[in-house]
A = this chain, B = another copy of it.
Amino acid sequence: MSGWVAVAGLGPGDDALITPEVQQTLDQATDIVGYFPYVARVAPRKGLTLHASDNRVELDRAAHALQMAAEGRRVVVVSSGDPGVFAMASALFEALGSGPEEWLDLDIRILPGITAMLAAAARLGAPLGHDFCAINLSDNLKPWDLIEHRLRMAGRGGFAMAFYNPRSKSRPRQFGRALDILREECGGDTLISFARNVSKPDETLNTVTLSAATEDMADMRTVVIVGNAQTTRLGRFVYTPRSAP
């Protein structure tokens, strides 16, 4: 039987958000590859080998998955959310481009999942119901100046925004700088929502104005959504209208 590799999105945490396509592919796999907490979401069974690895070894993990597929194994690389949004799909192609040419003939599939910003938006109401940007606030793989520039362009374009990786222990201060830029570009009355551990038992949601936002409202488990000038509260919901003036 010939091998394959699939990069699959497990969604934000609740198994009811895993697509049947992903579940069926997991059921056919011989090997699961990924970051510890995502591999831990796959039920062990006979004939299935779990290869859990630490964060920040994405390229090694991707090359290992491709190598096993080349050897005839059926490999699923698991990502949280959607694999194409700040997750493992791009890393897999980077490893593919650095590997032996015959890897290009492998059966490679990317299986979409519910990405964190859309799960968060659904819990909040519809804050991304108009044009929006998705920005990874981590400067591990790009200069911080570029992030600041993108925040300004997004603000001047009147986009709503969703931020991944807003803040970590090693980057405690940059999110405060991002909030300053957003207040300058969008005004202090614009709504900002902090959605932490969406779809998990300890989910929390918090919406304030940019004026009232502070950097400690976010951590690595938080998706941050900034509205546009029309974004409004309605009862317990936050939504962005479909129309713009």
Residues of chain A having any CB pair with chain B under 8 Å: 11, 14-21, 24, 58, 82-86, 89-94, 96-97, 104, 108-115, 118-119, 121-123, 125-136, 141-143, 146, 149-150, 152-154, 156-159, 232, 234-235, 237, 239-245
Contacts and interface: CB of A to CB of B under 8 A. Distances in A.
Contact of A118 (B58, B82, B122, B156): B82
A134 B141 CA distance: 22
Contacts of A21: 14, 16-17
How many identical chains are in the complex? 2
B130 A90 contact: yes
Contacts of A93: 125-126, 129, 234, 237, 239
A241 B118 CA distance: 22
Closest 9 CB pairs of A and B: A90-B129, A153-B157, A89-B126, A141-B243, A93-B239, A110-B122, A16-B21, A104-B235, A142-B244
Contacts of A158: 146, 149-150
B17 A17 contact: no
Give the residue among A18, A21, A136 with the most B Cβ atoms within 10 A: A21
Main secondary structure of the interface of A (DSSP, over half): mixed
A115 B84 CA distance: 12
A17 B19 contact: yes
A135 B126 contact: no
Nearest to A93: B239
Contacts of A152: 157
23 contacts: A16-B21, A85-B129, A86-B129, A89-B125, A89-B126, A89-B239, A90-B240, A93-B125, A93-B239, A94-B241, A97-B234, A104-B235, A110-B122, A112-B119, A112-B122, A128-B134, A131-B133, A134-B134, A149-B157, A150-B158, A150-B159, A153-B157, A154-B157
Contact of A150 (B84, B122, B134, B157): B157
A94 B242 CA distance: 9
Contacts of A154: 133, 153, 157, 159
A112 B104 contact: no
Contacts of A149: 157-158
A214 to B, nearest CB: 24
A241 to B, nearest CB: 6
Nearest to A236: B104
